[in-house]
Chain A
């Protein structure tokens, strides 16, 4: 008997007391999915929670995004940045005009190349206020996963209409992408560890600095 058959046979024997074949009827789940939180000011909550992770949040209007990116790169001391495909051209041009070394991911940058680039600038898919989480679905303007991992500073532009109150609403927005097999990455603050005496230390392997530009 294959391991597959053996394990499935063991499971069926172990659950022979279960007589209702429909899982949903057998164990109803008392939960309403996708509910929003009753948050008075979702954007303010988002800012507060993201800042609580010691990340930086700046709020600008649409026209000011390009300059805000340039300012962030300067503030973070970045000498080079990678710009993924699909960033709005106005932002891209502003960054290029600022004179910083700009890298593109085509041809695909090697791990070693990415490792020495100071920063990455991306858009996002969803912001979740209650937990201060940003979800990337690695679509246009977000790059493949390694782009937001190896450079040490991540500047992430989130549109206010992408921000929802909480995780359940966030999952609801991300579900179609997950169902079409997009990889998804959630970022809540910079990389951190609490492995040493349960003290939170920002910065282990992922980008140590997260800088969020919230577009009102």
Chain B
């Protein structure tokens, strides 16, 4: 099979990406990407702020959303069984998948049974998570991404770097280049003389994909919400590629994480106010589709839903990390994150970047891999994400909690240098007398250096710090000594 020519552009593998600090260093070196990211994140977070400020009861909405999601998480078995029943009664075939491989296998088998050799896809985080496209490629089925940014990523032999705007790291001239060289290899080529005007690029994508939509027999989607009460699926999108996939082919398979449930139809009002404003910074995104099973004479007549765990129950099992499952994938935390803004998404080593990736990834996958142990530290704990999150995920609390789990994981194997330092610091800080002792040593250093500022020095751990920054020499008199001398009688 490896000798067979590929049906779709070959993407790089996430597995080739080193742990965050090293990957981030490489990403920081990409000047054009940094410019693209700075511009794009600044634009979108400004829009979000304006749209959130328009809503008088924004905080009330956030609280309600968090509560609804917590209710679902704490009673997930109840709601899933209810949703399964409602969907089945409405004519949907419901499948369950323990992990990504199982979900991919289910989708592949449906496609094989339908006899299709290609499928059209709506942008879906969950199928990125399971690497569904590569599984389909291996069994001889071409999966075409139809979201504009996903198309740019797919044709560019690239990886997504953002939840909402996966090609955020690219600018228009790079995108023009990708369309011009790649479109013709996989279908309708880009028009002659294509410019880098966004409207022209979007029109080229329309033409390239229209042919695929018109002939597609099967589509694959994710799902933003499943209403447990009615079995209604909801997808929120902008371009209409989603509507094409959800409406035109005969067969539609939706792969949905088990946490995507909402109890009732009415709960949608909370999330449909929060999501677009948080996500694209619009009052409402152009299109929302709601479907409740099969409608005779309208849309796909063969509907499947695959309910996927793939580590979500690990997240649920930790009461301190559980709030992570509230996430509705709006990406507001990415756009506000100063680390994400500089590094972009690839350094996080999975389709989930930014603050949500830093807390979700290690919980979904566990801490056995070095990259997952590095992710909780990929944050300054500045807390900007806490404030924009529409479902009030306490990111910084969860980051610290996961750091604790990493520290426990590492020290359970064998004592570490870091642990030694922390133990030492813990001893010094356990009593003022210890601290005074330590300060005496630093004061001696201060007296030795004499100069006011220190430049580059090969000091362990601080070496890289000092490559870029000067530091003031330690004081020659500590506050403790000053106090004794000047206020000591008190």
The reply, when asked whether chain A contacts chain B directly with Cβ atoms under 8 A, is: yes
A7 touches B317 (CB 8 A): no
Tell me, in angstroms, the Cα distance from A187 to B288 when the chains sit together. Answer: 7
Q: B147, A195: Cβ atoms under 8 Å?
A: yes
Say whether B80 contacts A179, CB under 8 Å: no
Q: How far is the CB of A65 from chain B (nearest CB, A)?
A: 25
- State which of A17-25, A56-64, A69-77, A92-100 sits at the interface with chain B: A17-25
Contact B269 A171 (CB under 8 A): yes
A-B pair count, CB < 8 Å, reads 259
**B148–A196 touching, CB < 8 Å:** yes
Q: Is the CB of B244 within 8 A of A205?
A: yes
CB distance from A32 to the nearest CB of B (A): 9
Return the chain A residue nearest B61 by Cβ: A31
Q: Is A190 positioned at the interface, with any CB of B under 8 Å from its CB?
A: yes
The answer on a CB contact under 8 Å between B71 and A23 is yes
B97 at the interface (CB under 8 A from A): yes
> For chain A residues 145-189, which have a beta carbon within 8 Å of chain B?
145-146, 149, 166-168, 170-172, 174-175, 178-179, 181-189
* Inter-subunit contact A15/B76 (CB<8 Å): yes
Q: Which of A15, A201, A203 makes the CB contact (< 8 A) with B77?
A: A15
| Chain B positions near chain A (C-beta within 8 angstroms) | 36, 39-40, 43-44, 60-61, 63-64, 67-68, 70-81, 90, 95-98, 102, 146-149, 152, 165, 167-168, 171-172, 175, 198-199, 201-203, 205-206, 209-210, 213-214, 227, 230, 232, 238-241, 243-244, 246-248, 258, 263, 265-266, 268-270, 272-273, 276, 280, 282-293, 295, 297-299, 307, 309, 313-314, 316-317, 319
B286 to chain A, nearest CB (A): 5
Give bound CA distance, A197 to B288, whole Å: 23
**Mask of A85-104 contacts with B, CB within 8 angstroms, 1/0:** 00000000000000000000
* Inter-subunit contact A17/B269 (CB<8 Å): no
CB distance from B430 to the nearest CB of A (A): 33
A183: chain B residues within 8 A (beta carbon): 289-292, 295, 298-299
Bound-state CA distance A115–B212 (Å) is 13
Closest Cβ of chain B to A53, distance in Å, is 8
Partner of B240 from A4, A131, A171, A204 at Cβ < 8 Å: A204
Chain A residues in contact with chain B, CB under 8 A? 2-4, 6-8, 10-15, 17-18, 23-24, 26-31, 33-34, 49, 52-53, 108, 111-112, 115, 128, 130-133, 138, 144-146, 149, 166-168, 170-172, 174-175, 178-179, 181-199, 201-207
Q: Write out the residue numbers on chain A whose beta carbons fall within 8 Å of the beta carbon of B247.
A: 145-146, 149
Q: Are B266 and A27 in contact (CB under 8 A)?
A: no
With contact pairs A179-B265, A193-B238, A205-B209 given, residues A26 and B74 touching in the complex (Cβ less than 8 Å): yes
A115 near B214 with CB under 8 A, answer: yes
Q: State in angstroms the CA–CA spacing of A192 and B75 once bound together.
A: 37
CB nearest neighbor in A for B199: A201
Q: Are the CB atoms of B96 and A187 closer together than 8 Å? A: no
Nearest residue (CB) in B for A205 is: B240
Are A185 and B290 in contact, with the CB atoms below 8 A? yes
Q: What A residues does B43 contact at CB under 8 A?
A: 197-198
Q: Is the interface of B mostly helix, strand, loop or mixed?
A: helix
| From B147, B213, B240, B270, residue with most partner A Cβ within 10 Å | B240
**How many Å lie between the Cα of A189 and that of B272 in the bound state?**
16
Question: In the bound complex, how far is the Cα of B266 from the Cα of A204, in angstroms?
Answer: 31
Nearest B residue to A108 via CB reads B297
Q: Please state if A11 and B148 are interface contacts (CB–CB under 8 Å).
A: no
CB-defined contacts of A26 to chain B, threshold 8 Å: 71, 74-75
Can you list 30 A-B pairs with a CB-CB distance of less than 8 A? A3-B98, A11-B76, A13-B313, A17-B319, A18-B75, A23-B74, A23-B79, A27-B74, A111-B213, A130-B283, A133-B284, A144-B297, A144-B298, A145-B299, A149-B248, A167-B284, A171-B268, A175-B266, A183-B299, A185-B290, A188-B282, A191-B286, A192-B239, A193-B148, A196-B172, A196-B202, A197-B39, A203-B199, A205-B206, A205-B244
Nearest 9 CB-CB pairings of A with B: A206-B240, A205-B240, A14-B317, A31-B64, A204-B239, A186-B288, A10-B313, A195-B149, A131-B284
Residues of A within 8 A of B90 (CB): 181
A206 touches B74 (CB 8 A): no
Beta-carbon contact of B284 and A188 below 8 Å: yes
B243 near A15 with CB under 8 A, answer: no
In the complex the two chains form, what is the Cα distance from A8 to B71 in whole Å? 16
How far, in angstroms, from A109 to B96 measured CA to CA in the complex? 36
Closest to B236 in A: A186
Closest beta carbon of chain A to B217's beta carbon, Å: 11
- Cβ contact within 8 Å between A7 and B96: yes
Q: Is the CB of B40 within 8 A of A182?
A: no
Contacting pair A49 B283 (CB below 8 A): yes
Q: A102–B77 Cα gap in the complex (Å)?
A: 52
